[in-house]
Chains A and B, each alone.
Chain A
């Protein structure tokens, strides 16, 4: 069994523009982040703090990292739109890429600069990859299946496929799927060193020049019935090396069958990945949202799906990671949302 299907009951998104898709073709607001030791500066797109300000009273989120707040904000919006009441048959699947980077860097910085005996026990638990999922489960009072998946930029689609597996196996009636990414100077510098980021603070899909790292999150509530959009996911495949990316993405899309999409919402980001994305279909059907919201790596594939649910018709969502996987999904929306 390759492709699995479900229905999308609700979605939520958080981008540098805020919590709606009503930003048209605007580029994301860009800010500077600095390595305090070297003074090296990097351009990134962060999410306005106001987006998650309402979560400040949640007991488990008071000390939580940005990634937890972003995930919770997107998930709340998706749950609200879905109309479900999370309960014992509700599962949670959260996708992350770099995880709780801010607390991880701060904790290790304490170890290096002031000694292991001064490292804060308040920070360490928040460095664990499943801390955001744990906070979200506590907020929603879930006592069943809670999973955190880790991966590259495809992890949002992997989380959706994992959720479809849970639904198909009868392990849950509803699955809340979320994905989120927070930024820190160490990530910005690492990706710069990896020669993936743009020096101009822009992301120009198919034009090269590198990507613009961004914070962000997305969420969807899935079930086997209901909703106005059908979601089909496939397992995808791992990529042995960069030169296999195009073939891997093509093979992954073929797992969906003869798709004939009306739209393609891709993950093109101005890096070498774009060569593979260019083979997904004609350019006049392609939408590349990273130009407008930046590249929130771990959140990006699920953000693409949220964009796809807003389009009428059949929308192909391909995703490629820098070092792991090719993934794809098909969103069939009955009406413009």
Chain B
């Protein structure tokens, strides 16, 4: 709780955080940028041994929506994300992407809490990894450079990951996830290991690329304030089921620490704390 208040206070008192990220204004996103894929989850179940982690999750996410999933640790939010990303197999229910044409495969990317960069590859080739099979094509390095420009790291192209700061590493990981132009981008507490100020700049960056690129964003976080600041919709997961599905109808960019945000935060925290 206190940490959130400190974060909010910092955000208000230090308005000059912008230079850390490229000074590109947040503009309302044109609707044609939305990549048409609907995620449809019905009765999703997953167990690890005798431990039922997901006990029937129903969730429909329309194209281009920014959904945040919050909950106590162990509530199954990361598991849900891993199932959506195809990293693990589910035990029951269904998880489908609906799109036209239905036959095309859906490009889902994940960004983890750890940057997971290859320490022995320079920043540029780390981003090229994100191109998948297209990384051998002649324009691979141009596309990787464009993705790095998007996250404001043009000057770090030739660096080893080892010399970057935590925030910079996560931006490289974001560029790697973005470079293949994904339709769905899943974030597993990507800012969890960052300090308060870096978190805020990274949140602004995430919001900006989401608006620019129009992918469906699914963010797992334990930080309720972060969820409200970024998402169109906050889902609370409790004991493997959705216990609250709340639309956040606030204009963007959102004012940190405003009364509406505080009210929503109180509502969600009440639910979480029982």
Partners in one complex: no
